[in-house]
Amino acid sequence: MALPEILELLEQRREQHLAELVEWTAIPSISAQAQHAGDLRRACDWAADYCHAMGLETEIHPTAGHPAIIARHDAGARAPTVLLYGHYDVQPPEPLELWESPPFIDNWGSGEAVGGNAEPVRDGALYGRGASDNKGQLFAHLAALRGWFEVAGGPPVNLRLLIEGEEEIGSPSLGEFVATHADELRAEWGVVSDGPMLAPGMPAVSYGLRGLAYFQLDISAASADLHSGTHGGAVPNPATALAEFIATLHNPDGSVNLPRFYDDVTPLETAEREALAALEFSDDEYLKGLGAPTLAGEEGYTTLERRWARPTLEVNGIWGGYTGEGAKTVLPARASAKLSCRLVPRQEPAAIEAALRRACAERLPVGVRWTLRVFAGAPAVLTPTDSPGVQAAMHALRTGFGAEPAFIREGGTIPVVADFQSVLGAQPLLIGFALAEDMPHSPNEHFRLDCLYGGIRTSAALWDELARLG
């Protein structure tokens, strides 16, 4: 039995693992910002070097955007094949003034503080952009795998490791990449650690992810902004038209008012609703964390059902006309909105696009021109909770965190997970080590050290558990 020996080794390596993760997190691999292309390459190389050094057969592949890593280890024909996915890119850190320590700290332990009081490890957590999403969570697996290589020459499964650098910009290159490398990447299970636990000390397996359909609607009327005194009242106002259109997109009960929007939605089963209701979740505490006066949403569903298991339509951004200081009496020539739907199983992004396009055609006034652009589309994912892979993940989480894991769903989208299922035949195993309170995508992102070390232990156990299914 290699596992106990590996777990002991990993415990001894705590300080070293933290130092390694600090080093990786310090690289500002911001995929949304073109000037960071070199940093993306450095963060990619860092991960590839780590994989190569432990004994994985590692290759960096160029893509149309940022490079992707494929690493592999073979444990024999009788062992199951597992795909492990993660990403080395991060969200932009802005607004910088809201960070209490710099988002990227590259001289930790050197004795020199960057930007003043720049200790990235404090209060039992590592602070930095990407510390939680996704470097910290992915690193938990890398550290555990290195333990397996040192003690047992590698994990007892055939491993396919896929690490990309465009997740935070919607993985534009990954779909084609996965299709091209399908033979190499084909697997029975697809492990992704890019999501939350239920709460601190309360691990979870996610059995569902919502899908996404993201659009930009641009509306225009006159060819230039006009004086709202000279022309106001006679010329169509695109900002008004946009607002009036958006106002048609929800019904009074909070449901989405697009043609046939709910036709393909799989209803929530009573058993699942009961299971979700049994989870430890407080609307009041959730509200307190958000700083909002009330919650809102579709009538007839609980907060967790609304966030995890019901489709939505949200305005992600809106703009038009004069948005500066004070008064400018302008009649806007143009107005735009970013609109996105979160989807649940059986809803198709293409059908949502068609519905929104039809609504635009039917509901926008004749006095405006409009265009609808599509930025992203991914279907939802749902995994049966009784599958042996899920059960193996549950065992591994018990070992890693010493607590009984919950079954949860996630409201967010990991576009490539649907491809893992449909293109590679891999059943997703979504085992997040992060917490909602980690502030991913926000200032002061952090990753708790108990989540890091629990994640490392969980990963060590996971390969052992999955090997038994072989």
Residues numbered 333-372 forming contacts with a copy of itself, rule: CB under 8 A? 335-338, 340, 342, 365-369
Q: Considering only residues 106, 264, 298, 348, which one is a binding residue for a copy of itself as defined by CB under 8 A?
A: 298
Stretch that binds a copy of itself, among 198-206, 247-255, 353-361, 384-392 (CB under 8 A): 247-255
Q: Which residues contact 289 (CB under 8 A, 6 or more apart)?
A: 436, 437
254's tokens: 């909070």
Q: How far apart are CA 231 and CA 332, in angstroms?
A: 11
Amino acid at 462: L
Q: How far apart are CA 273 and CA 448, in angstroms?
A: 30
Stretch that binds a copy of itself, among 7-15, 330-338, 399-407, 456-464 (CB under 8 A): 330-338
197 is an interface residue for a copy of itself by CB under 8 A:
no
Q: How far is the CB of 340 from a copy of itself (least distance, A)?
A: 6
63 is an interface residue for a copy of itself by CB under 8 A:
no
Query: Does a cis peptide bond (omega within 30 degrees of 0) precede residue 257?
Result: no
Q: How far apart are CA 161 and CA 190, in angstroms?
A: 10
50's tokens: 């780590």
- Distances from the Cα of 295 to the Cα of 285, 300, 302, 343, 434, angstroms: 11, 13, 10, 20, 24
35 is an interface residue for a copy of itself by CB under 8 A:
no
Q: Which residues contact 372 (CB under 8 A, 6 or more apart)?
A: 215, 216, 217, 218, 353, 356, 357, 360
Q: How far is the CB of 413 from a copy of itself (least distance, A)?
A: 6
Q: Considering only residues 2, 9, 23, 33, which one is a binding residue for a copy of itself as defined by CB under 8 A?
A: 33
Stretch that binds a copy of itself, among 178-186, 264-272, 305-313, 423-431 (CB under 8 A): 305-313
Stretch that binds a copy of itself, among 6-14, 50-58, 300-308, 395-403 (CB under 8 A): 300-308
Total residues in contact with a copy of itself, by rule CB under 8 A: 101
Count the Cβ atoms, other than its own, within 10 Å of residue 401.
22
Stretch that binds a copy of itself, among 136-144, 207-215, 261-269, 449-457 (CB under 8 A): 207-215
Q: Considering only residues 306, 409, 446, 448, which one is a binding residue for a copy of itself as defined by CB under 8 A?
A: 306
Closest CA to 169 of 86, 92, 103: 92
Q: How far is the CB of 165 from a copy of itself (least distance, A)?
A: 14
Q: Considering only residues 111, 296, 362, 386, which one is a binding residue for a copy of itself as defined by CB under 8 A?
A: 296
Q: How far apart are CA 347 and CA 311, in angstroms?
A: 9
Q: How far is the CB of 233 from a copy of itself (least distance, A)?
A: 4
Structure-token match 């697997």, residue found: 187
Q: How far is the CB of 345 from a copy of itself (least distance, A)?
A: 15
DSSP 3-state of 346: coil
Question: Interaction with a copy of itself in 218-237: which residues (CB under 8 A)?
Answer: 221-237
Structure-token match 């009961």, residue found: 274
Q: How far is the CB of 2 from a copy of itself (least distance, A)?
A: 36
Q: Are 433 and 455 in contact (CB under 8 A)?
A: yes
Q: Considering only residues 100, 109, 179, 319, which one is a binding residue for a copy of itself as defined by CB under 8 A?
A: 319
Question: Interaction with a copy of itself in 424-443: which residues (CB under 8 A)?
Answer: 436, 439-443
Q: How far apart are CA 228 and CA 331, in angstroms?
A: 5
Question: Interaction with a copy of itself in 147-176: which residues (CB under 8 A)?
Answer: 168-170
Question: Interaction with a copy of itself in 370-399: which residues (CB under 8 A)?
Answer: 375-376
Q: Are 414 and 212 in contact (CB under 8 A)?
A: no
Q: How far is the CB of 367 from a copy of itself (least distance, A)?
A: 4
| First vs last C-alpha separation in the chain | 17
